């Protein structure tokens, strides 16, 4: 389990966030711009030390774990990774296995992220959406074969078309069903309602609500948090909450 | 050099397949390099046939030729090869460290710092310290290279978060400072010191002998070990500092190892042969077009190509205007820049 205990970060204004993510669940982090979503993710990734509180992976401080061990348990898909050197796609995905090239893991990851047909392409020539999926494959390769790993996704759908958005989040949810813990920063509340097991709603660095999508995504709370008027309907397909701007 | 080539890479032939990339075979690379070295030993004011080199091995060579080959030509070729290998490999590593294909020991101020420190030692310290050993000046050059690289890294912020443009600007500024300092030293230097400093700033293999070759061997060893150890981590660093950390790279430690190894290589090279421009910038970029950006291939191939380039350029420098000699940097630039621009154009078009 990865959890934060009233964790905060003074510079970015994040305060008193308590969150638990268990293996097997997909937790969405939502909130307006500047709410502290990415800061929370970097705390969970161990790349930033909390100024207050603690961030623990199986009761050990994440930031204090040896980097190699942390990399075996926690994979991070960044918002945008800039890579201008002409690596081939399979080489980029292979960077996920620094400990030793594992071609089978790389091939599996490329197939699952839907980039196997791009394997021999030069990375800088790809479109934004293709690049994002290549990095997803890199993170999948990194966590391939890990025990109870945690996957942290920072706006994984930002440059994807709707079909790809659903493909990526279906993949994340399927990983959660297989025992991974997934934390995804998401802007699209329709995707939050559809895919999240639980939602953490942040505003101005503070937790506004944390619970199931039906508990968190209420018109009153969305109005308070985003200043929008929204209606929440049961999704015709599976009854999950569907947020529609009124 | 052999240490730089991965053991996995054992194919014999003109080209070999490694991880799906077609690479020039190490056998081909080694043959070309050896041929260049032989040609360079033969070239010069006194013409020596390749057969003489073979005769040397059997002890049947003309004594005068033997002396020329053993005490003048061979150390010069060896020094050129080492110098080229060190500069090109350092250039490739610095480009990875700064995530910028324009990083170069010359542009970043590493060579400038080495030159300033070496000149400062020669003018200000050496006259008062006659007991200083032959190693003192190269040590000063190493320290100068180290200080400048660390400054650039500090000013530009930690790699990854840093804006590549700021890093390069910091390097350019420090380089200018180093040159200003060297100019200042020139104005107070006596005639002998003046000649020494000029020699560094132009770059020349004229001062080669076996002890300068020996001096560079530890630098080559350190750089080879660093290259073998750090190649996959350098690949990860190209993604950015944050991403490399996520992948389990100890970014700060890798940075320190890279800076020390390249400072040792650049400082040593500058101390014995001065600044030979452009090798550290163009050779790795050229090799990226041939073998791709993955450092486990890029570093050894850059080292080999850098060695070949400097050896060939030095041979030309001695032959073209014989019995006089051209500055070697003139040749490396004349040969390399058009080739580089051509490759760039082909790449874009």
Q: What is the pLDDT of residues B159-183, one digit of tens each?
A: 445 566 777 788 888 889 988 998 8
What was the pLDDT predicted at A121? 93
What was the pLDDT predicted at A108? 94
Per residue in B104-157, pLDDT (tens digit) is 888 788 888 998 998 899 888 888 877 777 778 888 999 999 998 888 878 765
First to last CA, chain A: 38
First to last CA, chain B: 35
Helix (H) or strand (E) holding A241: strand A241-245
pLDDT value at B10 more than 60: no
| Burial classification of residue B349, based on how many CB atoms lie within 10 Å of its CB (0-12 exposed, 13-18 middle, 19 or more buried) | exposed
Q: How far, in Å, CA of B158 to CA of B155, rounded?
A: 9
C-alpha distance from B243 to closest chain A C-alpha (Å): 8
Dihedral of the alpha carbons of A137, A142, A148, A150, in degrees to the nearest 10 = -70
A246 has a chain B CB within 8 A of its CB: no
Poorest-pLDDT segment among A126-130, B4-8, B47-51: B4-8
Q: Which residue did the predictor score with more confidence, B346 or B190?
A: B190
A91 has a chain B CB within 8 A of its CB: yes
Q: Which residue did the predictor score with more confidence, A122 or B324?
A: A122
Q: What share of chain B is helix, strand, coil (3-state, %, to 5)?
A: 75, 0, 25
Q: Report the residue of B100, B229, B248 to disrupt the A interface, i.e. the one with the largest count of A CBs within 10 Å.
A: B248
Are B233 and A98 in contact (CB < 8 Å)?
yes
pLDDT value at B57 more than 90: no
What was the pLDDT predicted at A218? 93
What was the pLDDT predicted at B224? 94
Return the residue of A nearest to B96 by Cα.
A85
What was the pLDDT predicted at B128? 83
Q: Report the residue of B232, B241, B243 to disrupt the A interface, i.e. the one with the largest count of A CBs within 10 Å.
A: B243
Per residue in B75-84, pLDDT (tens digit) is 999 999 999 9
Q: Report the residue of A49, A89, A95 to disrupt the B interface, i.e. the one with the largest count of B CBs within 10 Å.
A: A95
Q: Of B313, B314, B303, B263, which Cα lies nearest the Cα of B85?
A: B303
* Look-up of token digits 């970097």: A42
ipTM here: 0.91
Are A78 and B246 in contact (CB < 8 Å)?
yes
| Mean pLDDT computed over every residue of chain B | 83
Return the residue of B nearest to A140 by Cα.
B247
Question: Do the Cβ atoms of A152 and A144 come closer than 8 Å?
Answer: no
pLDDT value at A26 more than 90: yes
> Which residues of chain B are within 8 Å of residue A67 when distances are taken between CB atoms?
245, 248-250
Per residue in B11-40, pLDDT (tens digit) is 344 455 556 677 888 888 899 999 999 888
Candidate from A83, A99, A120 with C-beta closest to B20 = A120
Q: How far, in Å, CA of B89 to CA of B3, rounded?
A: 13
Q: Which residue did the predictor score with more confidence, A127 or B162?
A: A127
* Angle (CA) A35 A205 A211, round 5°: 85
Q: How far, in Å, CA of B287 to CA of B297, rounded?
A: 9
Q: How far, in Å, CA of B141 to CA of B148, rounded?
A: 11
Question: Do the Cβ atoms of B54 and B192 come closer than 8 Å?
Answer: no
Per residue in B253-282, pLDDT (tens digit) is 898 899 889 989 998 898 888 888 788 988
Q: How far, in Å, CA of A4 to CA of A43, rounded?
A: 8
Q: Give the pLDDT mean for B184-194.
A: 87
Going from the C-alpha of B339 to that of each of A218, B31, B104, B304, B332, the distances in angstroms are 65, 22, 18, 17, 11
pTM score, whole prediction: 0.88
Nearest-Å Rg of the Cα atoms of chain A is 18
**Which residues of B lie closer than 8 Å to A, measured between beta carbons?**
19-21, 99, 101, 232-233, 235-236, 238-240, 242-243, 245-250, 288, 292-294
What was the pLDDT predicted at B163? 64
Q: How far, in Å, CA of A216 to CA of A207, rounded?
A: 11
Q: How far, in Å, CA of B322 to CA of B21, rounded?
A: 43
Per residue in B91-110, pLDDT (tens digit) is 999 999 888 887 888 878 88
């Amino acid at each position: 389990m990865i959890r934060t205990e009233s964790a905060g970060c003074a510079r970015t204004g994040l305060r008193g966030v308590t969150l638990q993510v268990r293996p097997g669940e997909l937790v969405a982090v939502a909130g307006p711009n500047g709410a502290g979503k990415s800061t929370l993710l970097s705390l969970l990734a161990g790349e930033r030390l909390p100024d207050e509180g603690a961030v623990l992976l199986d009761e050990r401080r994440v930031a204090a774990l040896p980097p190699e061990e942390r990399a075996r348990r926690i994979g991070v898909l960044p918002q945008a990774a800039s890579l201008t050197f002409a690596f081939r796609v399979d080489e980029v995905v292979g960077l996920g296995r620094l400990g030793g090239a594992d071609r089978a893991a790389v091939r599996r990851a490329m197939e699952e992220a839907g980039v196997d047909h791009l394997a021999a392409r030069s990375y800088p020539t790809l479109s934004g959406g293709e690049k994002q999926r290549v990095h997803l494959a890199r993170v999948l390769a990194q966590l391939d074969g890990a025990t109870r790993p945690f996957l942290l996704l920072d706006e994984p759908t930002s440059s994807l078309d709707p079909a790809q958005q659903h493909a990526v989040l279906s993949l994340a949810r399927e990983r959660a069903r297989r025992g991974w813990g997934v934390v995804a920063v998401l802007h699209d509340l329709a995707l939050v309602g559809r895919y999240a097991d639980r939602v953490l709603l942040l505003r101005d660095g503070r937790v506004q609500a944390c619970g199931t999508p039906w508990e968190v995504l209420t018109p009153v709370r969305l109005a308070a948090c985003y200043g929008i008027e929204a209606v929440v309907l049961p999704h015709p397909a599976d009854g999950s909450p569907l947020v529609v701007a009124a | 050099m052999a240490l730089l080539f991965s053991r996995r890479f054992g194919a014999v032939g003109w080209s070999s397949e490694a991880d799906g990339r077609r690479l020039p075979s190490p056998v081909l690379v080694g043959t070309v390099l050896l041929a260049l070295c032989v040609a360079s030993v033969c070239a010069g004011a006194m013409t020596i046939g390749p057969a003489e080199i073979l005769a040397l091995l059997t002890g049947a060579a003309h004594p005068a030729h033997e002396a020329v080959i053993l005490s003048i030509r061979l150390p010069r070729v060896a020094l050129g090869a080492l110098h080229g290998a060190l500069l090109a490999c350092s250039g490739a590593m610095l480009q990875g460290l700064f995530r910028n294909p324009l990083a170069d020991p010359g542009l970043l101020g590493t060579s400038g710092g080495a030159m300033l420190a070496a000149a400062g030692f020669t003018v200000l310290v050496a006259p008062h310290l006659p007991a200083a050993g032959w190693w003192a000046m190269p040590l000063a050059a190493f320290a100068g290279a180290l200080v400048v690289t660390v400054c650039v890294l500090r000013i530009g912020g930690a790699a990854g978060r840093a804006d590549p443009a700021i890093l390069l600007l910091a390097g350019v500024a420090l380089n200018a400072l180093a040159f200003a300092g060297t100019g200042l030293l020139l104005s107070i230097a006596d005639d002998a010191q003046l000649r020494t400093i000029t020699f560094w700033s132009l770059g020349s293999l004229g001062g080669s002998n076996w002890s300068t070759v020996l001096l560079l061997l530890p630098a080559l060893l350190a750089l080879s070990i660093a290259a073998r150890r750090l190649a996959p981590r350098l690949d990860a660093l190209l993604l950015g500092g944050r991403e490399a950390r996520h992948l389990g790279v100890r970014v700060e430690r890798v940075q320190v190892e890279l800076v020390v190894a390249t400072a040792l290589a650049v400082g040593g090279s500058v101390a014995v042969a001065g600044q030979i421009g452009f090798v550290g910038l163009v050779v790795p970029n050229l090799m990226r077009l041939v073998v791709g950006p993955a450092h486990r291939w890029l570093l050894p191939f850059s080292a080999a190509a850098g060695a070949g380039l400097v050896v060939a350029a030095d041979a030309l420098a001695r032959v073209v205007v014989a019995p006089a000699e051209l500055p070697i940097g003139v040749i490396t630039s004349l040969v390399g820049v058009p080739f580089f621009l051509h490759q760039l154009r082909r790449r874009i078009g």
